[in-house]
Amino acid sequence: MANPNKYIKSRTATKNKNIKPQTIIKCYQINLQHSRTITDNLLELIEKEGICVAFIQEPHKVHNRVAGVTKGTEYLHRPKVGAGQLR
């Protein structure tokens, strides 16, 4: 995989040599459609590609809990919004 930092350039950075390289945050957005298979594939991709943040809609759930979330994984969850409720 190519070094993504080689594409980060700014006019300020070329003038000021004291600026530290920027941090790249990899984000994915996906609708899992409640599929266990897609969830498993996403978890593999997160591990393999070093994804920092994943925005997930319709996750696969087991016993009303998001499947595949292990201890030490941080996640935010908003309960399902029904018709007529404010978003």
The predicted pLDDT at position 64 comes to 79
The predicted pLDDT at position 29 comes to 92
Instruction: Give the whole-angstrom CA distance, residue 51 versus residue 49.
Output: 6
The predicted pLDDT at position 7 comes to 47
The predicted pLDDT at position 76 comes to 77
Domain boundaries, the chain: 21-78
Average pLDDT, consecutive stretches of 10 residues, N- to C-terminus, the chain (87 residues): 51 58 85 92 89 88 82 74 59
| Burial environment of residue 77 by CB neighbours within 10 A (0 to 12, 13 to 18, 19 or more) | exposed
